[in-house]
Chain A
Amino acid sequence: MPSITYISNSGESRTVTVDSGVTIMQAAVRNGVPGIVADCGGECQCATCHVYVDPKFLGLLKPAAEDEDAMLALTASERKDNSRLACQLVLTDALEGIVVTTPPIQQ
């Protein structure tokens, strides 16, 4: 049951705990965390679940696959080195305590 903390663009933070196997996008959507839109429902098609991952945790994530990397070119907010699409990030116990920041806008 990993926990994850979302920090909004204005600095408010929310921590939720979910089952392993749930994506960072699903964890946000199911818990009503604002700032993640996820138009396409997690199909890596819309770039509206963009997050900035706390650099401390970046190395624990699988690198972005080709489709995620391509879609990151379409984010509405600036793409940074720690930009990822939350629908592609599956939570596991190894990621316990991960922190992501949601961008100013998603679309």
Chain B
Amino acid sequence: MDRGVVIVGAGQAGFQTALSLRNEGYAGKIALIDDEGRVPYARPPLSKAYLKGTATAESLEYRPAEFFVQQSLDLVLNDPAVEIDRGRQTVALRSGRELEWSSLVLATGAHVRRLPSLGKEPSYLRTFADSESLRSHLSGSGSLLAIGCGFIGLEAAAAARAQGKQVRVIGAEARLMGRAVSPFISAWFHALHERHGVEIQLNTAVQGVSETSAVLPDGTVETADTVVVGIGVIPNTELAAKANLAVSGGIVTDSYLRTTDPAIFAVGDCAMHPNVYAGGLTRIESVQNAADHARAVASTISGRPKEYRQVPWFWTEQFEAKLQIAGLAVEADETEVKGDPESGKFSVYSYKAGKLKFVESVNQPAAHIAARKLLEI
């Protein structure tokens, strides 16, 4: 007898799994569990439109609360899963409630990496509450110090600068968004931020932070009215590890996103999965990865096993530049720039051993879409 599906985590991947199961015609019980108290919402705007004040809280919700009732989705909020019993196929929640399942989907996401705190905590940016708190801090601030030069730090910097704040970015790496983009794109965005009046300091690993300050390696203390830290995330794997599932930099899965227990899947940010574009196991933090993982697993649970093999894509918006990336960044041995970087509309094609590996498009959506198709393996 089918005891239903329990999905742990109601972020993009968890929500999409529930939605896709119903779309696939799955009629069994579905429970969607989350430790936050909000109806599932989209995170990308938290560092963009919501921070700038151009999106409302309601507009972030994937679906209104009634939708979950209509679709017979048991939305369990404010009640994190604390333990999986694989033998009995149950999961225990903090409240003491116990849910049974035939398939369990771990969509546990990730939590922010923190810096040593030297007093009151600075802002971090992961949840709705984080974004709301940063937004309210910023409204009374004249200056922002963003620690971290990845997508989150730079998007927050751009949003604050657009509101007229004085903005400074301090990053530990040698170039902007170094993990995700080519050196050409790093340099172009560096110039973009400087042109807009953002001060950038690289190769500087901040040692500690407070609500309004950061300590640099040489002991210098930098201050600002608001400090936000965006230095990456750590996958939430404790639940899986406690249940003796394989965990190594994420919850390890096969190409069907099955963990080492075939009745338990992992999707989204937490899943260390075989990715044909990475040529091995990898973990990817993106909307595309979360949504496509979810669809594959929903299909498999509904009786139509589906391997995951979608082209990865990403986007970020900073000032007037919309950067779209297709494929996974690697150290390229050949790059080709098409279009006009001066005018802010161009694409960078990166090759390795003669093969196109990833394409970055700035304000050139058609080139990005073409690239997604071009890269399909």
Chain A residues packing against B (C-beta within 8 Å): 26, 29-32, 37-43, 45-46, 66-67, 69-71, 73-74, 107
Contacts and interface: CB of A to CB of B under 8 A. Distances in A.
21 contacts: A30-B63, A30-B64, A31-B64, A32-B64, A32-B66, A32-B70, A39-B287, A40-B44, A41-B44, A41-B60, A42-B59, A43-B44, A43-B315, A45-B287, A46-B291, A66-B366, A67-B322, A69-B366, A70-B365, A70-B368, A71-B369
B62 interface: yes
A29 B63 contact: yes
Given A32-B63, A73-B369, 10 more contacts: A29-B62, A41-B42, A41-B44, A41-B45, A45-B287, A45-B315, A45-B324, A66-B366, A71-B365, A74-B369
Contacts of A40: 42, 44, 287
Given A30-B64, A45-B315, A74-B372, A39 B365 contact: no
Nearest to A74: B369
Indicate the member of B19, B44, B369, B370 with the most A CB atoms within 10 Å. B369
Contact of B295 (A42, A70, A107): A107
Contact of A39 (B291, B369, B370): B291
Indicate the member of A40, A45, A66 with the most B CB atoms within 10 Å. A45
B16 interface: yes
Interface in B44-80: 44-45, 58-64, 66-67, 70
Contacts, number: 54
Nearest to B59: A26
Contacts of A74: 369, 372
A26 B66 CA distance: 15
Indicate the member of B60, B365, B366 with the most A CB atoms within 10 Å. B365
Interface residues of B, number: 27
B59 to A, nearest CB: 6
Contacts of A66: 365-366
Nearest to A34: B23
Contacts of B372: 74
B123 to A, nearest CB: 22
Contacts of B287: 39-40, 45-46
B42 A70 contact: no
Nearest to B48: A43
A40 B45 CA distance: 10
A6 to B, nearest CB: 15
A96 to B, nearest CB: 22
B185 to A, nearest CB: 18
Contacts of B368: 70
B44 A32 contact: no
Interface in B255-295: 287, 291, 295
A2 B63 CA distance: 21
Indicate the member of A38, A42, A74 with the most B CB atoms within 10 Å. A42
Contacts of B291: 39, 46
Contacts of A71: 365, 369
Nearest to B368: A70
Contacts of A45: 287, 315, 324
B16 A67 contact: no
B365 A67 contact: yes
Given A69-B366, A70-B369, A74-B369, A41 B66 contact: no
